[in-house]
C-alpha cells in the first residue's frame, strides 16, 4: 500500500459515520470527468456498477495513470472511489497496484456500504488491476 492510500485509510478510520460521509462527498466533489470522446467502448465499462463508470488506464514508462467517467449523476460513491484510486495509484507500477486489496471499498466505506454499491466499487478496483496486468 502506498503512502497516500495509507493516509486516507487512517484518516477515515478516525472519523465517525457522518464525518466520513462528508469526507467522501468532498472527495467526490473533486472528481474530474474524462475528456475522452463518446461513445465509450464497452471494454472500458466497469462491470456490475450501477453508476455507469468507465475506466481508462495509461502506461507511461511502466507507471500507470487512471482516467474515469461516471455517467450516473447519483454516482457519488463511485466518484469518491475514483478520486481515491487516482490520488493513490497514479504513478505506481504494476507490482505496486497489484498489492491493493480488492476489498479496498469496504475499508473506505465501511458498514455504510450497501451490497449493490460494494459490488460495483470492488469491480472498479478489479478493472484497474485487470488493465495493468493485460
Partner 1 sequence: MLDIESRGYVNSSVLVSTEWVANNLENIRLIESNEDPLLYKAGHIETAVEVDWIRDLNDPIVRDYLGEQAFHNLVTKIGITPDTTVVFYGDKNNWWATYALWVFELFGHKNCKIMDGGRLKWENEKRPLTREIKSFNKSEYPIVKRDDSSDRIFRDGVLTHIKQNKKLIDVRSFPEYTGEKLHMEGYPNEGALRGGHIPGAKSVPWASSINSDGTFKISSDLKEIYEKTANLNQSDEVVVYCRIGERSSHTWFVLKYLLGYSNVKNYDGSWTEWGNLVGVPVERE
The footprint of partner 1 (CB under 8 A) covers: 18, 21-22, 24-25, 28, 47-50, 73-74, 76-77, 80, 112, 114-120
CA geometry: angle at 20 spanning 71 and 103, to 5°? 65
Q: Does the CA dihedral 92-98-130-47 come out positive or negative?
A: negative
By C-beta, is 97 or 121 nearer to partner 1?
A: 121
By C-beta, is 83 or 97 nearer to partner 1?
A: 83
Pairwise CA distance, residues 122 & 49, whole Å: 9
Retrieve residue 3's grid coordinates: 503512502
Q: Are 88 and 8 in contact (CB under 8 A)?
A: yes
**Smallest distance from the beta carbon of 7 to partner 1, in angstroms?**
21
**Smallest distance from the beta carbon of 118 to partner 1, in angstroms?**
7
**Smallest distance from the beta carbon of 101 to partner 1, in angstroms?**
16
By C-beta, is 71 or 96 nearer to partner 1?
A: 71
Amino acid at each position: 500500500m502506498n503512502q497516500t492510500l495509507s493516509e486516507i485509510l487512517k484518516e477515515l478510520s478516525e472519523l465517525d459515520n457522518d464525518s466520513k460521509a462528508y469526507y467522501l462527498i468532498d472527495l467526490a466533489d473533486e472528481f474530474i470527468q474524462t475528456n475522452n470522446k463518446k461513445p465509450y467502448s464497452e471494454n472500458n465499462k466497469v462491470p456490475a456498477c450501477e453508476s455507469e463508470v468507465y475506466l481508462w488506464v495509461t502506461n507511461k514508462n511502466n507507471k500507470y495513470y487512471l482516467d474515469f467517467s461516471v455517467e450516473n449523476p447519483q454516482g457519488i460513491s463511485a466518484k469518491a472511489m475514483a478520486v481515491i484510486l487516482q490520488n493513490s495509484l497514479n504513478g505506481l507500477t504494476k507490482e505496486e497496484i497489484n498489492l491493493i486489496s480488492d476489498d479496498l471499498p469496504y475499508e473506505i466505506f465501511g458498514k455504510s456500504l450497501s451490497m449493490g454499491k460494494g459490488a460495483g466499487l470492488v469491480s472498479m478496483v478489479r478493472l484497474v488491476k485487470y488493465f495493468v496486468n493485460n
